[in-house]
Amino acid sequence: MTTYYPIVMETEASGAVSAYVPGLPVFAAADTRTKAERAIRGTLAAYLEAHPDSVPTSQVRVARVSDRQRSKVRIVGVGALLGAGRSRRKARASQVNGRLGGRPRKTA
């Protein structure tokens, strides 16, 4: 079974990058983002090895703020960060197939 752990990375005023896993006592810091990613991976792996029954207690949500109304804040899922991600080719094939999404039909 695959478990996903959210990782938050922040760049400090000094330029250092800190990373942590919400809901777990796992923290790391480094000079660059690449080094911080490497450090948090190692720290999380060591923590999970020492505490194999740990489960994340946090849930990641995203706040969406409208450009028109700054006071309008909505809470949406993490998928909102990724967007629809449809390619023009896929959208065109879906329209031809009469479907909304999915892979293009194979032609003989």
Structural domains in the chain (count): 2
For the whole model, what pTM was predicted?
Answer: 0.64
Tokens of 45: 């792996």
- Residue 20 maps to a domain: yes
pLDDT tens per residue across span 84-104? 666 777 777 777 776 555 565
Q: What is the rounded distance in angstroms from the CA atom of residue 14 to the CA atom of residue 17?
A: 9
- Do residues 46 and 15 share a domain? yes
- Residue 107 maps to a domain: no
Strand, helix or coil for residue 50: helix
- Do residues 13 and 39 share a domain? yes
| Structural domain containing residue 31 | 8-50
Residues contacting residue 82 through CB under 8 Å, at least 6 positions apart: none
pLDDT tens per residue across span 6-49? 899 999 999 999 999 988 999 999 999 999 999 999 999 999 99
- Do residues 40 and 71 share a domain? no
- Residue 77 maps to a domain: yes
Q: Where are the beta strands (DSSP E) in the chain?
A: 8-11, 17-21, 26-30, 62-65, 73-76
- Do residues 17 and 41 share a domain? yes
pLDDT tens per residue across span 55-74? 878 888 888 887 777 678 88
